[in-house]
Structure 1
Amino acid sequence: MTKQISLNALWDSALSKEQAFGSDRLSHLPEAARRYLEHAIAPGTAIASAVRLQMHGEIKLKSWIPFKAEQVICWERGLIWSATAWMNGLPIVGSDRLVDGVGAMQWKLLGIFPVMIASGCDITRSAVGRLQAESTWLPSVFCGDDVSWTRMDSSHLHSSFVVQDQRAELDFTIEQTGRLKTVKLPRWGNPEGAEFHDVDFGAIVESEGTFCGYTIPNRLRVGWYFGTDRFESEGEFFRATIDDAIYR
């Protein structure tokens, strides 16, 4: 079995682009897209290719249980989310990952007894959807020439780009200040426990914070069936607060 890359190794592999953000980079974009990016990235901030996040929150298995986690998103390679959750006082330790086009999940009770081990094409495709959604923690990726924007109205934007050989179609809701309120996309998954298919997936941004010149969602609610009543009743499964973020 090939040894899995560590979170630290993924972070160390990130390359600095040695470019600084400025409004002149956005002159060709719709006004709403410029508003979002000018809010999300301070002038002169280095254009990052990776972010390392510390977070805590709750995840819904059969019930809501607390977790603490560290995550690296390296845009060229993927992501690793390494966490410990507690069920009935016992730790469940593991990771979700997508690295170099391969997705996997591995979780063990007490770090010993397998709780969930999953891989394969469906897991990889779903993990790519997660990377697409979590691009909002790395707003610099939206400055690339390969990202196309469509303005729906003054508060709704559509962004399209390719990552890990899959096209992302993200819908943003933003305030007049440029603050992000929601993000929505079709994501490959099986929340019903049956066959995988595209499901509306998204996040409600409850607050934001500024780290190293980037203003990103720092408290949010995430889940399936986004934009419908089912989100509240059965789709929401992840609530996170970002405690710290560093960029490279």
Structure 2
Amino acid sequence: MTKDSAFDELWNDPIAPGAPFDPKDVAGLPSSARRYLEHAIAPGTPLASAVRLRMTGTIKLKDQWHPFAADQVIRWNRGFVWRAKVKMNGLPVTGSDRWIDGEGAMRWKLLGLVPIVTASGPDISRSAADRVQIESLWLPSVLVAPSVSWTEHDATHVGLNVSLRDRHAHCEYSLDEQGRLRTVSMLRWGDPQGQGFGSLPFGGVAEEERTFGGFTIPSKLRIGWYFGTERFEPEGEFFRCTVEEAVYR
């Protein structure tokens, strides 16, 4: 994977050890929220504030699916970097998406030399902030924080309000009876059709899960725009991934 100093800095920056998770910490939450968190975090697991993921999958670009390999770091109080190598018609495209300290950017190059995507600015930053907040599903320890508010709709549907620096987002989870995450959704700022930015349905389906270091997280997902509508599968879905490894700090 291409070297990235911001990626390394997010991961290597010193982190104080988190307190061990105690189910009593979430005893005051709605029952569905408790069921999710108690399923996602084993008792005694230190509450992490960062995760490093290794994943493979396919991504849809210009109506064609292409394989990728990627790694990602999420440092909750700072942001994320997702860096990947995508094979397009046999040629490597490398680069990253990121949101760090309030600033988002996308930078991708063909053969590591020819820029094909370079984007930044307020709209990119807002969309990337929404992304890292919905991806808190890979770092469920941050959802134990008192700043996260939960609303139970019924036994298998719960909403949560997540704050990251000055960014606020509302996510919806659907769960099974054991607390396993089935789907996640939100209104995300974006412009998938190139017709101007706006808040659009976004989310995905968790098809499998795995446990890494005391955290049980979705490990196989299908993600995209227009989630929850008839447009999701034919035109909105653009990302399918399998998490191969997750390391927590």
TM-score (norm 2): 0.97
Question: Where in structure 2 are there 5+ consecutive unaligned residues?
Answer: none
**Is the 1:14–1:49 Cα contact (8 Å) retained in structure 2?**
no
Counterpart for residue 196 of structure 2: 195
Structure 2 Cα separation of the partners of residues 14 and 152 of structure 1: 39
The number of residue pairs the alignment matches comes to 245
**Is the 2:18–2:49 Cα contact (8 Å) retained in structure 1?**
no
- The 5-angstrom pairing of residues 64-83 of structure 1 reads 64-83=65-84
Counterpart for residue 59 of structure 1: 59
Counterpart for residue 112 of structure 1: 113
Counterpart for residue 12 of structure 1: 12
Deviations 1:147-206 (A, max 9, x none): 100000000000012113121100000001000000000000001111100001001000
Give 3-state SS (helix, strand or coil) of 1:178's partner. Answer: coil
- The 5-angstrom pairing of residues 30-179 of structure 1 reads 30-62=30-62, 63-179=64-180
Stretch deviating more after TM superposition (4-13 or 237-246): 4-13
AA of the residue aligned to 2:22: G
Structure 1 Cα separation of the partners of residues 112 and 175 of structure 2: 41
Structure 1 Cα separation of the partners of residues 94 and 14 of structure 2: 25
AA of the residue aligned to 2:28: H
Structure 1 Cα separation of the partners of residues 14 and 103 of structure 2: 18
- The change in CA–CA distance for 1:5 and 1:144 in structure 2 (over 3 A counts) is same
AA of the residue aligned to 2:153: M
Give 3-state SS (helix, strand or coil) of 2:240's partner. Answer: strand
Q: RMSD of aligned C-alpha atoms?
A: 0.9
- Identity, % of aligned positions: 53
TM-score (norm 1): 0.97
Deviations 1:96-154 (A, max 9, x none): 00001100000000000011000000000000011011100000011000010000000
AA of the residue aligned to 1:155: T
Structure 2 Cα separation of the partners of residues 180 and 16 of structure 1: 28
AA of the residue aligned to 1:139: P
Structure 1 Cα separation of the partners of residues 165 and 105 of structure 2: 15
Counterpart for residue 28 of structure 1: 28
Question: Where in structure 1 are there 5+ consecutive unaligned residues?
Answer: none
